[in-house]
Amino acid sequence: MTDVWHHAQEQFFAVADRLKLSPAIKAFLSEPEVVHNFTVPFTMDDGSTRIVSGIRAQHSFARGPAKGGIRFHPGVTIEEVKALSMWMTWKCAVVNVPYGGSKGGMIIDYKALTRREQERATRAYARRLLPYIGPDLDIPAPDVNTGPREMAWICDEYSHYVGHPEPAVITGKPVEYGGSLGRTDATGRGVAFAVQRYFEIKGEPLERKRVVIHGFGNVGQWAARVLSKMGAIIVAVSDSAGGIHAEEGLNVEAAIEHKESTGRVSGFAGTEMSNEELLELECDILVPAALEGAIHAKNARKVGAKLIAEGANGPTTPEADAILEKRGIALIPDVLANAGGVTVSYFEWVQNRQRMYWTIHDVHQRLRDIMRGATDDVCRIANEEKVNWRVAAYLLGVERVAAAVRMTRADF
Residue among 26, 67, 103, 173 flagged as catalytic: 103
Cα dihedral value 406, 82, 120, 349, nearest 10: 30
Q: Which amino acid, residue 204?
A: E
Check if 298 is active-site.
Answer: no
Backbone angles phi, psi at 158, to 5 degrees: -65, -40
317 is a contact residue toward ligand NAD (CB under 6 A): no
Least Å distance, CB 178 to ligand NAD, is: 17
Least Å distance, CB 366 to ligand NAD, is: 17
179 is a contact residue toward ligand NAD (CB under 6 A): no
312 is a contact residue toward ligand NAD (CB under 6 A): yes
Beta carbons of 93 and 395 less than 8 angstroms apart: no
Judged by CB under 6 A, which stretch of 198-206, 283-291, 385-393, 396-404 contacts ligand NAD?
283-291
219 is a contact residue toward ligand NAD (CB under 6 A): yes
- One of 167, 215, 270, 333 touching ligand NAD (CB under 6 A): 215
Q: Return the number of the residue (37 or 240) whose C-beta is nearest ligand NAD.
A: 240
- One of 98, 135, 174, 217 touching ligand NAD (CB under 6 A): 217
- One of 89, 102, 316, 338 touching ligand NAD (CB under 6 A): 338
Q: Return the number of the residue (214 or 225) whose C-beta is nearest ligand NAD.
A: 214
214 is a contact residue toward ligand NAD (CB under 6 A): yes
Judged by CB under 6 A, which stretch of 45-53, 152-160, 209-217, 324-332 contacts ligand NAD?
209-217
- One of 11, 171, 313, 375 touching ligand NAD (CB under 6 A): 313
Over the range 366-399, which residues count as b (16 or more CB within 10 Å of their CB) and which as e? bbbebbbebbebbbebbeeeebebbbbbbbbbbb
Least Å distance, CB 288 to ligand NAD, is: 8
Least Å distance, CB 293 to ligand NAD, is: 10
- One of 22, 77, 251, 275 touching ligand NAD (CB under 6 A): 275
Residue in the shown chain whose Cβ atom is closest to ligand NAD: 217
Q: Return the number of the residue (25 or 213) whose C-beta is nearest ligand NAD.
A: 213
Computed over its alpha carbons, how large is the radius of gyration of the chain?
Answer: 21
246 is a contact residue toward ligand NAD (CB under 6 A): no
- One of 216, 268, 349, 358 touching ligand NAD (CB under 6 A): 216
171 is a contact residue toward ligand NAD (CB under 6 A): no
Judged by CB under 6 A, which stretch of 4-12, 192-200, 288-296, 383-391 contacts ligand NAD?
288-296
228 is a contact residue toward ligand NAD (CB under 6 A): no
Strand order across the beta sheet in which 242-245 lies: 271-273, 242-245, 233-239, 210-214, 283-288, 305-309, 330-332
Residues in the chain: 412
- One of 291, 330, 350, 387 touching ligand NAD (CB under 6 A): 291
60 is a contact residue toward ligand NAD (CB under 6 A): no
Judged by CB under 6 A, which stretch of 20-28, 58-66, 104-112, 286-294 contacts ligand NAD?
286-294
180 is a contact residue toward ligand NAD (CB under 6 A): no
239 is a contact residue toward ligand NAD (CB under 6 A): yes
Q: Return the number of the residue (298 or 380) whose C-beta is nearest ligand NAD.
A: 298
**242-245 vs 138-142, strand pairing mode:** unpaired
- One of 11, 238, 343, 352 touching ligand NAD (CB under 6 A): 238
Interface positions with ligand NAD (CB under 6 A):
187, 214-220, 238-240, 275, 289-291, 311-313, 338, 341
Active site residues: 103
